[in-house]
Amino acid sequence: MNAMNQAPSLPRTDLYINGEWVKASSGKTIPVFNPATENQIAELAAASVEDVNRAVEAAHACFESTAWRRMRPLDRGRLLEKLALVVEEHADELARLETYDNGKPYATSRYVDLAFTIDALRYFGGWASKTAGEYITLSPFFDDGGIYRAYTERKPVGVVGGITPWNFPLGQAIQKIAPAIAFGCTVVLKPSEETSLTTLRLAELIHEVGFPKGAVNIVTGYGHDAGAALVDHPLVRKIAFTGSTATGQRILAASAKTMKRVTLELGGKSPTIILADADLSRAIPGAANAIFGNSGQVCTAGSRLLIEEPVYEEVVAGVAEIARGLRLGPGHEEGTQLGPIVSSRQLERISGLVQSGRSEGARVVAGGNRPDRDGWFFEPTVLADVRPDMQVIREEIFGPVVCAIPFSARSEIKAIANDTPYGLGASIWTRNLDHAHLLAEEIDAGTVWFNTHNILDLAVPFGGTKMSGRGREFGTEAINAFTEPKAVVMRLAGDY
């Protein structure tokens, strides 16, 4: 049998707390399914409030320990570099496990997810020794004859509660863990109960590398139990969450009770805007890639396709042709371009939204159905002539479904693009850079791409506006997200 068709070895599925593997106190478990087959493949420990409390206390004890506080920043960076080397050594294994658990094509797992994971470890490992404060000469508002000086320093916020989604499980885990460790925090991470296996394997590798006990803790469980307990715990000083807007709103409201810092990377309904002067040989496949990559399960997916009328039908037909030619299948099969949807619940949501589009008058140009096969698959779908009041254009679908909207005048673009509660990403396809730059200023989005879509770099701040979130990750913004400034003011003697 081809090695790719064999089930990968599974990690331990207990809780990782204070450097040890422990059972959930309740003994309850969560079933794990392979979305390509619908078969159960594992059971996870379901953490209770008691388990989360133990993990937070372990993280807090580590954070307050002399050994952690006095660890040189270079040595924190070295821990992340060691982990990067071990992850790199096990990259093929981790990619196969990600595909088995999440369903995405192996090539995506290996050359997108794992590449990002390794890069992020190294990027933030380098930042560990680069934080700095300021030295300030004061001008006090009163004059008592003294000479005053002040300096600032960046201090780690403390225990970080990380809550990650199911679409990029390993990369999202590192997106929370790496900057937290780099800047001197400790972590309790709760991965999505849908896709926890690579995060648990990561915990095994963290243990192998020799992270201090309590520096990183992994608790698997449901959001309403483990996630809520993490948000409510008074010793957790920051929540770093990526997921749905509805959950983000609940986290923000709950965090007010203990005045936690939060970064929330939430939903999106990102526009892909194609002007008539665009290079369609690039724009059409670009628009298809913007929505169908990772089966549309991407927060910045270009799910609204705004097309200038002279090229509207050509672009719709071109994207639909690409959609019909994409090969669906299990992620481990060679040649698979689109894997399954992550769960039956998510599949039903996508199916229901597409059906609502049909019933409200959208024209189905490609796809629109569940194929007759095992697994939670949905055809890549192009809906044309979508109106602004339709449910498919108002709600985030989070699947391989794009809604095409024509516009006749460029003065309409701003209103159409911003007619959404979200503001995460957008792309503009044109040969005219004047138009691109002027239009970019008008669009409510955390990131705007020109003649490309979904290009991320760890050096570029990432996050959204409006209902797409709060705060930024990546780049220098990560320093502000995981540290707080402390000012120290002194009075100097006036004679010497």
Query: Buried (b) or exposed (e) across 309-340, using 16+ Cβ within 10 A?
Result: eebbeebbebbbebbeebebbbbbbeebbbbb
CA–CA separation, 203 vs 190, rounded Å? 12
Closest CA to 318 of 253, 256, 274: 274
Backbone angles phi, psi at 360, to 5 degrees: -90, 0
- Could you confirm whether 134 is annotated as catalytic? no
Residue owning tokens 């004047």? 434
Q: Which residues pair with 425 in a beta bridge?
A: 447
Helix and strand numbers, DSSP H then E, in the chain: 17, 22
Tokens of 4: 């790719």
- For residue 306, give Cα distances in angstroms to 196, 302, 416, 428, 438: 36, 10, 8, 10, 17
Is 299 known to be catalytic?
A: yes
CA gap 489, 154 in Å, rounded: 15
**Tokens at residue 134, please?**
């300021």
Helix boundaries (H) for 141-194 = 169-182
- 332 Cβ contact list (under 8 Å, min separation 6): 4, 5, 36, 96, 99, 100, 106
Q: Which of 62, 185, 299, 403 is catalytic?
A: 299
CA 65 to chain centre: 31
Q: Which residues pair with 306 in a beta bridge?
A: 273, 405
CA distance 199 to 191: 7
Structure tokens at 432: 């005219």
Give how far Cα 128 sits from Cα of 71, 365, 436, Å.
11, 50, 36
Residue 163, by phi and psi: left (phi above 0), alpha (psi -120 to 50) or beta?
beta
Question: Residue 279: how many CB atoms within 10 A of its CB?
Answer: 12
> Active-site residue among 98, 265, 379, 396?
265
- The residues with which 43 forms a beta bridge, in sequence order, are 31
Q: Tokens 């709950």 appear where?
A: 254
- Distance of alpha carbon 311 from alpha carbon 324, whole angstroms: 20
All residues at 6 or more sequence positions from 14 whose CB lies less than 8 Å from its CB, including other chains: 21, 22, 23, 24, 45
> Can you tell me which residue has the tokens 């985030």?
396
Cβ atoms of 326 and 338 within 8 Å: the answer is yes
Give the number of other CB atoms < 10 A from CB of residue 156: 22
What is the set of active-site residues?
Answer: 265, 299
